[in-house]
Amino acid sequence: MDLDGDHRLGAWQIKEIIDLTLPPMKTTKERFVAELPADTKSAEIEIKVTHYPSGITGKPVLELHRVVKKLSFEK
């Protein structure tokens, strides 16, 4: 979705035009937008970087990195 909330491209379309790989030893930045209820006073955000090894079926997932942040909102 774009900043106006309009659906622009499907996930299958995005992967055709954007390189979604994480280069070794490089930092990338991502931005995610979420709407919270107006009376929200705090939120906990968890970010996980996971790896799905190719050639392995089922659910084996390697968690490479995890960060949890607690946010407080003042009004």
| 67 in Cβ contact with 46 (< 8 Å) | yes
Quote the tokens at residue 34. 């979420």
Contact 64, 49 (CB under 8 A): yes
* pLDDT of residue 13 exceeding 70: no
Between residues 69 and 10, the one the model is more confident about: 69
Note the pLDDT tens digit of each residue in 15-55.
666 666 777 788 878 788 888 898 999 999 998 888 777 76
- Collapsing DSSP to helix, strand or coil, 23 comes out as coil
pTM: 0.52
